[in-house]
């Protein structure tokens, strides 16, 4: 520890902490890039500690601020199986990030390593990557300074999507085991997904092309790369038209395009030249979120968001379960948050007859709940999600003896989807191909997909209050237990609206309270949202 002490103190002096309080939030640390130097350095120290604690398993570190503006950046850690960092360690990250001086930082580091019984002579391995933000290169250098100070082994994977980094972490840590996830390289990532796609598309064909807006981020070059591993549509592959892929000008990132723009603005990027019924999709800045959309023959815009991807995917797996004869052996379910449109929840429970779990916001909560199913489909309405398979599901799928050619076909498709789907984390590129496979199997276009159910009109508003901390949510964030009496006022109001549903909760990523409302008509949804927002405002002064 003494040698570490000198090294940490010396290196930390090059990365002084600015004023302010930092918090490892829903998506790691995220803020203006010029405030992040010390944070990234310190998260690097924690990554080393985490790897040592786990006997040298590889930990991932991603430098990205996803859909935030170009001048922001962020950092998050990836655990050995490609999952998000274990929650108790988020607190440790926050502790290190806020140590007021180099000495205090070392003291906090030493205390953590002793409290957590980390063997400092264990090896430490870290891999890292970044999105296309201009600040990413300097921040990666701050990270390397931390890794060098503690003599950790590391690999810089440079530009990658967030899900690619998760893939690499999982592939490294499962290499040579019976659960080997795939070859440890970017090429291995494309090959695994493309092989799954090709198998799933046997005897099927995609209809026309899909236009993909890449938010002018890292998803652009990576999607182009992936297309090299896929055949064109007339050879059983897919025609992908990549747009909004300007990564030369970093200022263009997420501006007037990308999944967050499309979802929150409920419209196509202004640069879109889509014609009626043309299939369009948008990724976010680090390519872990995906939404689809189209304009119909009367030029009306329709969004096919995370709820739609969840319902489409769940219905397809239910079909495959029945067709393969595995339906009774595997339990299947969907995980959503309170932001899921009520019509989607109803469609899943009533039409698909599948259970739905509602969790707190943040994919780690959804992912965790989805592990309760053998085949768990989870998506946030904003387009972040995936499907995960239990060990039992994989075993059943691999050993089941089909009793007919139809069963064999369904089983083959299931196997190929296990390869195609990025089970470590929601992945826009893998989700895109998953949707394309399902549409091809169902022989559907976007209109048929939309026709499965009718969304309830809804409204999401942001309310700024003095202290959002006083709003304490319970029941998967659908109710407020504090301030006292606020929930009763909201309930009384909601009761007056046909198909009314509304809730308020403090955002985990922004200094605001979010209010969501849905009702039978657009006018009522807007009115309900405005009135609940007024209640929040009243309690928030
Ligand atoms: C309503 C909404 O879209 N909330 C987002 C947003 O969380 P908030 O806690 O609502 O700020 O950011 C999270 C992280 O990116 C994402 O997981 C979540 O879905
Ligand atoms: Mg993202």
380 labeled part of a ligand binding site: yes
More confident residue, 55 or 250: 55
Using a 6 Å cutoff on CB, does residue 26 contact ligand 1? yes
d(CA 525, CA 458): 5
pLDDT of residue 10: 97
Average pLDDT over residues 387-401: 95
Q: Is the CB of 131 under 6 A from ligand 1?
A: no
pLDDT at 373: 98
Domain final residue, candidates 141, 159, 177 = 159
Looking at every residue in the chain, the average pLDDT score rounds to 96
Q: Which atom in ligand 1 lies closest to the alpha carbon of residue 67?
A: 15
Provide the number of structural domains found in the chain. Answer: 4
pLDDT of residue 384: 97
Q: Which residues does residue 126 pair with via DSSP β-bridges, in sequence order?
A: 59, 154
- Position 232 confidence tier, pLDDT thresholds 50, 70, 90: confident
Do 374 and 503 lie in one domain? The reply is: no
Query: Residue 218: is its pLDDT beyond 90?
Result: yes
With respect to residue 371, please indicate whether it lies within any of the assigned structural domains: yes
Tell me the two tokens of residue 11. Answer: 């290196």
What value does the mean pLDDT take over residues 243-265? 96
* pLDDT cut 70: percent of the chain above it: 100
Which regions of 412-524 does DSSP assign to beta strands (E)? 458-463, 472-474, 479-482, 501-506, 513-518
Give the phi and the psi of residue 129 in degrees, each rounded to 5.
Answer: -155, 175
Distance from Cα 224 to the centre of ligand 2, integer Å: 19
**Which helix or strand (DSSP H or E) is residue 46 part of?**
helix 37-53
Regarding the beta carbon of 363 and ligand 1, being less than 6 Å apart is answered yes
- Domain boundary residue, one of 272, 304, 336: 304
Return the C-alpha torsion angle 273, 277, 279, 280, nearest 10: 40
CA of 68 to the centre of ligand 2 (A): 9
Does residue 123 sit in the same domain as residue 89? yes
312 shares its domain with 284: no
At 233 the pLDDT is 81
| Residue 260, pLDDT above cutoff 90 | yes
Which of 38, 66, 272, 315 is an active site residue?
Answer: 66
Q: Which of 188, 253, 282 is nearest to 226 (CA)?
A: 188
Neighbours of 55 (CB within 10 A): 10
Q: Is residue 164 part of a domain?
A: no
Q: Which two tokens stand for residue 70?
A: 């170009």
**Measured torsion, CA atoms of residues 344, 196, 257, 85, in degrees rounded to the nearest 10:** 80
Question: pLDDT class for 286, splitting at 50, 70, 90?
Answer: very high
Confidence of residue 508 (pLDDT cuts 50, 70, 90): confident
What's the CA-to-centroid distance between 283 and ligand 2, angstroms? 8
Q: Is residue 329 part of a domain?
A: yes
- Tell me if 445 is assigned to some domain: no
**Is residue 533 very low, low, confident or very high in pLDDT (cuts 50, 70, 90)?**
very high
Which of 445, 418, 427 shows the shortest CA–CA distance to 200? 418
Co-location of 295 and 361 in the same domain: no
Give 289 Cα–ligand 2 centroid separation in angstroms: 6
Residue of minimum CA distance from atom 17 in ligand 1: 362
Count of CB atoms within 10 A of residue 498's CB? 8
506 is known to lie in a ligand binding site: yes
SS3 63: strand
pLDDT tens digits for range 486-501: 999 999 999 999 999 9
Cβ of residue 27 lying under 6 Å from some atom of ligand 1: yes
| Confidence tier at 293 by pLDDT (50, 70, 90) | very high
How many angstroms separate the CA atoms of 207 and 200, rounded? 15
| pLDDT greater than 80 at residue 337 | yes
Per-residue pLDDT, 17:
98
**279: Cβ contacts below 8 Å, ≥ 6 apart:** 208, 209, 210, 211, 292, 294, 439, 445, 446
Note whether 354 and 410 are same-domain residues. yes
Q: Of the bound ligands, which one is closest to the alpha carbon of residue 385?
A: 1
For the chain, the C-alpha Rg in angstroms (whole number) is: 23
CA 227 – CA 100 distance, rounded (Å): 48
In Å, what is the CA distance from 458 to each residue of 96, 320, 493, 518, 536?
Answer: 41, 32, 16, 4, 18
> pTM, whole model, 2 decimals?
0.96
Nearest CA to ligand 1 atom 15: 27
* Cα–Cα dist 376/387, whole Å: 6
- Based on the domain organization, do 291 and 323 belong to the same domain? no
- As a whole-number percent, the residues of the chain with pLDDT over 90 amount to 95
Boundary residue ending a domain (109, 141, 159): 159
State pLDDT tens for residues 141-193.
999 999 999 999 999 999 999 999 999 999 999 999 998 999 999 999 999 99
Report the Cα–Cα distance between both ends of the chain, in Å, rounded.
50
Report the C-alpha gap between 373 and 54 in whole angstroms: 27
| Structural domain boundaries, residue 144 | 2-159
In this structure, is residue 416 part of a structural domain? yes
Closest CA to 447 of 313, 318, 308, 243: 308
Q: How many angstroms is it from 509 CA to the middle of ligand 1?
A: 7
Reported as type and span, the H/E element at residue 126 is strand 125-130
Instruction: Please check whether residues 289 and 425 belong to one and the same domain.
Output: no
Same domain? For 293 and 311 the reply is no
Q: Which residue's C-alpha comes closest to atom 4 of ligand 1?
A: 361
**CA 67 – ligand 2 centroid, Å:** 6
| 163 close to ligand 1 (CB < 6 Angstrom) | no
Q: Which residues contact 104 (CB under 8 A, 6 or more apart)?
A: none
Q: What ligand 1 atom has the least distance to the C-alpha of 460?
A: 1
Asked whether 361 lines ligand 1 (CB < 6 A), one says yes
Confidence class for position 235, pLDDT limits 50, 70, 90: confident
Q: Looking at residue 528, which CATH number applies to its domain? A: 3.30.310.50
Same domain, yes or no: 471 and 404: no
66 is catalytic: yes
Q: Are residues 287 and 321 in the same domain?
A: no
Instruction: Categorize the per-residue pLDDT at 102 as very low, low, confident or very high, splitting at 50, 70 and 90.
Output: very high
pLDDT exceeds 80 at position 2? no
Residue scoring higher pLDDT (299 or 508): 299
pLDDT in tens, 106-149: 999 999 999 999 999 999 999 999 999 999 999 999 999 999 99
Residue 215 within any structural domain of the chain:
yes
Task: State pLDDT tens for residues 429-475.
Answer: 999 999 999 999 999 999 999 999 999 999 999 999 999 999 999 99
Say which CATH number the domain at 377 has.
Answer: 3.40.120.10
Sign of CA dihedral 200, 202, 203, 206: positive
Q: Give the pairing of strands 209-213 and 239-243.
A: parallel
Is the pLDDT at 203 greater than 90? The verdict is no
- What are the structure tokens assigned to 500, written together? 């009314």
Ligand 2 ion local residues (Cβ < 5 A): 66, 284, 286, 288-289
Compute CA distances 205 → 293, 417, 438, whole Å: 20, 16, 11
> Which residue of 68, 258, 362, 516 sits with most ligand 1 atoms within 8 Å of its CB, as the best mutation to test the pocket?
362
Residue 438 lies in a domain: no
Tell me, yes or no, whether 368 and 324 share the same domain: yes
Distance CA 106, CA 45 (A): 10
Q: Does the annotation place 66 within a ligand binding site?
A: yes
Classify residue 177: in a domain, yes or no.
no
Residues 147 and 15 in one domain: yes
User: Residue 412 burial by CB count (10 A; 0-12/13-18/19+): exposed, middle or buried?
Assistant: middle
State whether residue 74 is helix, strand or coil: strand
Please indicate whether residue 513, judged by its CB atom, sits closer than 6 Å to ligand 1: no
Query: Cα separation of 514 and 24, whole Å?
Result: 20
């Amino acid at each position: 520890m003494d040698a570490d002490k000198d090294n940490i103190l010396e290196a930390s002096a090059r990365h002084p902490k600015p004023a302010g309080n930092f918090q490892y939030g829903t998506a790691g640390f995220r803020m203006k890039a010029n405030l992040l130097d010390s944070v990234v350095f310190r998260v690097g120290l924690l990554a080393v500690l985490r790897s040592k604690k786990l006997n040298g398993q590889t930990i991932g570190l991603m430098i990205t601020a996803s859909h935030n503006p170009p001048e922001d950046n962020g950092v998050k850690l990836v655990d050995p199986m490609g999952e998000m960092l274990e929650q108790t360690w988020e607190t440790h990250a926050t502790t290190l990030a806020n140590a007021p001086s180099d000495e205090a930082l070392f003291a906090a580091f030493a205390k953590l390593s002793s409290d957590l019984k980390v063997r400092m002579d264990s090896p430490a391995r870290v891999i890292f990557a970044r999105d296309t933000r201009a600040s990413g290169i300097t921040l990666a250098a701050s990270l390397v300074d931390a890794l060098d100070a503690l003599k950790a082994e590391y690999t810089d994977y440079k530009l990658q999507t967030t899900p690619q980094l998760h893939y690499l972490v999982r592939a490294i840590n499962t290499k040579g085991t019976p659960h080997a996830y795939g070859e440890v390289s970017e090429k291995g990532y494309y090959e695994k997904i493309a092989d799954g796609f090709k198998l799933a598309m046997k005897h099927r064909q995609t209809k026309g092309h899909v236009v993909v807006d890449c938010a002018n981020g890292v998803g652009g070059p990576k999607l182009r790369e992936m297309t090299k591993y896929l055949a064109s549509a007339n050879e059983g592959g897919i025609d992908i038209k990549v747009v909004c892929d300007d990564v030369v000008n970093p200022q263009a990132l997420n501006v007037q395009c990308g999944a967050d723009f499309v979802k929150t603005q409920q419209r196509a990027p202004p640069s879109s030249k889509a014609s009626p019924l043309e299939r369009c999709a948008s990724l976010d800045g680090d390519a872990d979120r995906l939404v689809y959309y189209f304009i119909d023959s009367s030029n009306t815009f329709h969004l096919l968001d995370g709820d739609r991807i969840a319902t489409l995917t769940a219905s397809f797996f239910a079909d495959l379960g029945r067709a393969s004869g595995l339906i009774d052996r595997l339990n299947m379910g969907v995980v959503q948050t309170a932001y899921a449109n009520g019509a989607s929840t109803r469609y899943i429970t009533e039409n698909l007859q599948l259970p739905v779990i509602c969790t707190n916001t943040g994919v780690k909560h959804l992912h965790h709940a989805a592990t309760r199913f053998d085949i768990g489909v989870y998506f946030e309405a904003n387009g972040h999600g995936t499907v995960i398979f239990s060990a039992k599901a994989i075993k059943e799928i691999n050993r089941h003896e089909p009793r007919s050619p139809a069963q064999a076909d369904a089983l083959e498709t299931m196997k190929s989807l296990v390869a195609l789907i990025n089970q470590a984390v929601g992945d826009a590129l893998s989700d895109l191909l998953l949707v394309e496979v399902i549409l091809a199997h169902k022989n559907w276009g976007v209109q048929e997909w939309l026709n499965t159910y009718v969304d309830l009109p809804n409204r999401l508003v942001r309310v700024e209050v003095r202290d959002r901390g006083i709003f304490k949510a319970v029941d998967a964030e659908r109710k407020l237990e504090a301030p006292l009496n606020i929930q009763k006022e909201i309930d009384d109001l909601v009761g007056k609206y046909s198909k009314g549903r509304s809730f308020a909760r403090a955002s985990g990523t922004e200094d605001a309270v979010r209010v969501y409302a849905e009702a039978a008509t657009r006018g009522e949804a807007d009115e309900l949202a405005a009135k609940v927002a007024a209640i929040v405002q009243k309690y928030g002064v």
